[in-house]
Amino acid sequence: MRLIRYHLGMRSQSTANSAQHANTQFDFAVVGGGIVGKASALAMAQLGYSVIQIAPDLLQTITLVPSFGQRIYALSPSTKHLLSELNIWDGLDQTRIQAVRDMRIYGDRGQKYDQLHFSAFEAGRPELAWVAESDLIEATLTQAMRFSKNLQSMEASVDEVQFEPNTSPTLSLSNGQTIQAKLVIAADGANS
């Protein structure tokens, strides 16, 4: 994250998380409300940049089902590190996360030479990865975003992005508002 701050050469601004959205100029605009968008917005806000996150269903409440959700992610050690840096990892319900310590991958033929084996023990690591529910990660990120003072959220979609020389990109939104940001992060899946 320090590299991003250095290379962008931006000065941090502080903005209050406001329902009025009076501010129309930001350091970052993050378009998309999934895990990547939420983590990106939270990371930039925690670095002190003014951030607006824009997505049609951004503030939708995510309710965890008592049984485990069907959509899961395998999280690498670097992803765990990122979530820890964002103060998210410790907020995750650890009873809903499973460490992966051994992994076997078989090819189509099922032959001995047609498989891979990874072992945390052999690699000298406590775990290879972790498996966690998508809803668990998203709900925890959403909760953290609500308490971030540099982060505003807006439920809208982006109709158009205008690029003019020597100015920040301008986003025209479905709610009629326009936003300017020094950098736009497109994290809205197939719509990017």
CATH value at residue 153: 3.50.50.60
Report yes or no on 117 lying in a domain.
yes
In whole angstroms, give the CA distance from residue 1 to residue 44.
8
Same domain, 132 and 100: yes
CA-based angle 146:189:41, to the nearest 5? 30
User: Of 96, 113, 139, which closes a domain?
Assistant: 139
Report yes or no on 15 lying in a domain.
no
Domain around 181: 2-8+23-58+146-191
List Cβ neighbours of 67 (8 Å cut-off, separation of 6 or more).
none
- pLDDT tier, 15 (very low <50, low <70, confident <90, very high otherwise): very low
Read off the pLDDT of residues 78-127 as tens digits, 9 standing for 90 and up. Answer: 999 999 999 999 999 999 999 999 999 888 876 767 888 999 999 999 99
Report yes or no on 18 lying in a domain.
no
Same domain, 94 and 126: yes
In whole angstroms, give the CA distance from residue 65 to residue 70.
10
